[in-house]
Chain A
Amino acid sequence: MQGVNIKELTAKPEKLASGHRSCAGCAFPIIVRTILAATDDDVVVSCATGCLEVTTTIYPYTSWNVPFIHNAFENASATLSGVIAAYKSLKKKGRIKKPVKFVAFGGDGGTYDIGLQSLSGALERGEDFVYVCYDNQAYMNTGVQRSSATPRRADTTTTPVGEARQGKIEWKKDLTKIAIAHNINYVAQASPHNFMDLLRKAEKAFNTKGPSVLIVLSPCPLGWKSQPAMTIKIAKLAVETNFWPLYEYEHGSYILNYENDNPKPVSEFLKTQGRFKHLFKKGNEMLLKEIQDKIDERWRQLRTLCGKK
């Protein structure tokens, strides 16, 4: 797999076929296809309830050309643990010989919130699998309700903008750090706009012994109130403004994957999306500044962790 170029990638068999029902401009098909292209071994997919599951498995059709299981919202990791145990048992008996890779996909609701316990359990047990969170920053499948991954001030259907309150009050949970706190070997943040970086990270995750976690920003035109054609640009802006830094945690070390001496202001990212529209109204300058300050503070912390001055 090492050093694969884009041309070779396009020749690989599609593990998630086209024809599924995800929205125009949805980022997760790109994320899923890129990640699954990162291994040539047989792979089993476990998927939490959410947009990815409902848009790809409408009976009697399926978009999955690889074995796939959906159990419930909060248990993609525990379910996959069962599949891995079955594999180990059959391998011990010599009834299966080839190496098999295991990957779980969940949205931010199924990962940061309701599925966190199941994920934490599987990480602690050291299951040999890759967990991928496609983070679109709210419960999009049920109609854009806030999750613990929703950024502060985002307008969602449960944190609407009103006279007394302007969007979500709380800051986004830092799941990447929570994953790292399990002392596993590989955790990374990625973005679909840089798919070679995503591919490389997925490859690393598949080849790491024990659990790995990839958290991938997944722009959602429906929930972010953005233009479908802008998905990749918005993902890029998220990285360029340090809203979504690209970094890895590998065997105890932090590695920064993207750095700009003069990062763009976060407003460049926020203004592409209707969910932050209220922040640009007169009188809300402080709300915007507060977000910029937090991003700057977190960026400094991350740089320190990565050994930069």
Chain B
Amino acid sequence: MKTEVTGAQAASIAMKHLNPDVVSAFPITPQTDIMMEFGQYVADGEVSTDLILVESEHSAMSAAVGASAAGVRAMTATSSAGLALMFEILGVASGSRLPIIMNVVNRALSSPINIHCDHSDSMDCRDIGWIQLYSENAQEVYDNTIIGTKLAESVKLPVMVMQDGFINSHCLQNIELLEDKKVNEFAGELKPVNSLLDFKKPVTIGPLQLTDYYFETKRQQSEALSDAYKDYIKFCREFAKISGRSYDYVEEYKLKDAKHIIVALNSTCGAVKDVVDELRNRGEKVGLLKIRMFRPFPYERVFNALKKCKSVTVLDRSESFGANPPLMSEVKNSLSSAHVIINSVIYGLGGREFTEEDVKLIFNNMIKGKKVKHYAGCRE
């Protein structure tokens, strides 16, 4: 069933199909559209969800933790400052092994305050123990939310599904939806190990662990992310059977014989693909490596995809102040044993326009062996 929706709507429709027991929400631009849409589903009785409209994102995540600890499917969504405010409780969610599902509409962080897209919000949360899936377009938002839910509940870890604020969240796109029934069959029913509402087996969730147990708990958490890595590809294959859409940790776009490759996340990949097509028509061997799963990071896949090329340019839409930017850093780690030139480009901070011309300039400089400027589209 084809339908025209925005990225935000794609997230809320996926949530509707997954029919969470509890959703908590607090408004923030540009996430708001997801919750307005979902609020309508609740009002129209299209979902059986208990919607809690809390007084902050901190409470939104806290309520999601409470609901998930009570053994039900819990979801929320946020952006930017909202994600930053949740930060403390993101660690509680992952440390308590609660499979919460959260759509994040990427937006720049203060200061200066800015409502437009960059990835500094979700990148600041990359080490907090959540699975992170990035989405190029509305279709991937929808699909990632469904696959992410199954994955989260399988390995008992929370998952964040990212999409670019405004560029994706507010732009109409044609996407293919699945029937509710198919989504439900795929995602299955949540089977919690413990629940606060199981009075025959009362549990203490969130205890104090000191020097004698904390370390092992953290190690188990790390191992759960390794399990998530294995399960993800399995679920992608299952999902392909019901949707006809095949996913992987990464998308290799015209990489087979590519000599010069751009690595990127989210909506920018669309623009890069167009430029790759254009340059390929001119006989240039260029390609794109799109990263879909950022946590756990697919080091081996990235290595195999890039090891034979001449040069790589990693596009980062966020800074890691005083260090290599986040995506660049991981790509560099992946390629430590390969002889590949690696360039780093920071682009699009605070929603700064990044056009196909900018991509072309990067590819042309790579092809000619010229210096690739570290800041794209930024005044000197």
Residues of A within 8 A of B (CB): 42, 44, 46, 53-54, 57-60, 62, 64-72, 74-75, 77-90, 92-93, 96, 98, 100, 117-118, 120-121, 124-125
Query: A118: which of B24, B62, B68, B198 is its contact (CB, 8 Å)?
Result: B62
B184-211 at interface with A (beta carbon < 8 Å): 195-199, 202-210
Whether the pair A75, B89 counts as a contact (CB closer than 8 A) is yes
Contacts of A100 in B (CB 8 A): 197, 199
Chain B residues within an 8 Å CB radius of A90: 21, 72, 197
Tell me whether B50 is interfacial, beta carbon within 8 Å.
yes
Return chain B residues, CB-CB under 8 Å to A53.
208
Is B65 a contact of A71 with CB atoms below 8 Å?
yes
Supply 17 A–B pairs (Cβ within 8 Å), ascending by A: A44-B197, A58-B207, A58-B208, A59-B207, A67-B195, A69-B66, A82-B70, A86-B70, A89-B50, A90-B21, A90-B197, A92-B50, A96-B197, A117-B56, A118-B62, A121-B56, A125-B53
Contact partners of A78 in chain B: CB under 8 A: 54, 58-60, 62-63, 66
> Given the complex, which residues of B lie within 8 Å of A88, measured CB to CB?
50
Is B71 an interface position by the 8 A CB rule?
yes
User: Which chain A residues border B48 with CB–CB below 8 Å?
Assistant: 89, 92-93
Please give the distance in Å from B35's CB to the nearest CB on chain A. 15
Question: B62 contacts which chain A residues (CB < 8 A)?
Answer: 71-72, 75, 78-79, 81-82, 118
List of A residues within 8 angstroms of B199 by Cβ: 42, 66-67, 98, 100
Knowing A53-B208, A86-B72, A117-B56, say if A71 contacts B50 (CB, 8 Å): no
Chain B residue, CB-CB nearest to A74: B58
Check if B207 sits within 8 Å of A75, measured CB to CB: no
A88 to B32, CA, bound (A): 25
- Total A-B residue contacts, Cβ distance less than 8 Å: 162
Q: Is the CB of A70 within 8 A of B206?
A: yes
Task: Return A24 CB to nearest CB of chain B, in Å.
Answer: 20
Q: A59-B209, A62-B207, A85-B24 are in contact. List 8 more A-B contacts (CB 8 A).
A: A67-B196, A71-B89, A81-B24, A85-B52, A92-B50, A98-B199, A117-B59, A121-B55
Q: Chain B: which residue is nearest A118 at the CB level?
A: B59
6 nearest A-B residue pairs (beta carbon): A82-B66, A86-B70, A121-B55, A82-B63, A78-B59, A70-B206
Q: Are B22 and A86 in contact, with the CB atoms below 8 A? A: yes
Q: How far is the CB of A21 from chain B (nearest CB, A)?
A: 10
Which residue of A62, A70, A81, A84 contacts B59 across the interface (Cβ within 8 Å)? A81
Residue from B65, B195, B198 in contact with A82 in the complex, judged by beta carbons closer than 8 Å = B65
Question: Which residues of B lie under 8 Å from residue A117 when comparing CB positions?
Answer: 55-56, 59
- B21 and A125 contacting across the interface, CB-CB below 8 Å: no
Q: For A42, what are the chain B residues with a Cβ–Cβ distance below 8 Å? A: 199
Residues of A contacting B22 in the complex (Cβ-Cβ under 8 angstroms): 82, 85-86, 89
Instruction: Report the bound CA distance from A104 to B74 in whole Å.
Output: 21
Decide yes or no: A66 and B202 within 8 Å by CB, A59-B209, A82-B68 being known contacts.
yes
Task: Say whether B65 contacts A125, CB under 8 Å.
Answer: no
- CB of B197 within 8 A of CB of A85, answer no
- Shortest C-beta distance, A88 to chain B (Å), equals 5
- A62 near B204 with CB under 8 A, answer yes
Listed residue (A42, A78, A118, A125) with the most chain B CB atoms within 10 angstroms of its CB: A78
Bound: A68/B207 CA distance, A: 9
Cβ contact within 8 Å between A118 and B58: yes
- Please give me the residue from chain A that is nearest to B64 by CB atom: A82
**Complex formed: what's the CA distance from A140 to B305 in Å?**
56
**Interface residue ranges of B22-67 to A (CB < 8 Å):** 22, 24, 48-50, 52-56, 58-60, 62-67
| Bound: A124/B56 CA distance, A | 13
B69 at the interface (CB under 8 A from A): yes
Bound-state Cα–Cα, A93 to B190, Å: 14
Closest residue on chain A to residue B213 by CB atoms: A59
B206 pairs with A71, CB closer than 8 A: yes
Which residues of chain A have C-beta atoms less than 8 A from B195's C-beta?
A: 67
Q: Which residues of B, 63-118, contact A by the 8 Å Cβ criterion?
A: 63-72, 74, 88-89, 92
How far apart sit A64 and B51, CA to CA, in the bound complex (Å)?
29
| Alpha-carbon separation in the docked complex, A87 to B197 (Å) | 7
Contacts A83-B196, A86-B22, A87-B70 given; indicate if A75 touches B58 (C-beta within 8 A). yes
Contact A69 B69 (CB under 8 A): yes
A72 proximity list for chain B (CB < 8 A)? 62, 88-89, 92
Task: For B202, give its contact among A46, A64, A124 (CB under 8 Å).
Answer: A64
Q: Check B66 against A46 for contact (C-beta < 8 Å).
A: yes
Q: Are A68 and B202 in contact (CB under 8 A)?
A: yes
Q: Which residues from chain A contact B208 at a C-beta distance below 8 Å?
A: 53-54, 57-59
Residue of B52, B65, B203, B207 ringed by the most chain A CB atoms within 10 A: B207
Q: A82-B70, A86-B71, A93-B48 are in contact. Are A67 and B206 (CB under 8 A)?
A: no
Question: Out of B24, B54, B74, B92, which one reaches A71, CB within 8 Å?
Answer: B92
Residue interface mask B245-288, A partner, CB < 8 A = 1: 00000000000000000000000000000000000000000000
Asked if residues A68 and B204 are in contact (CB atoms below 8 Å), the reply is: yes
A residues less than 8 Å from B71 (CB atoms)? 86
Most buried by A among B67, B92, B203: B67
What is the CB-to-nearest-CB distance from B61 to chain A, in angstroms, rounded to a whole number?
8
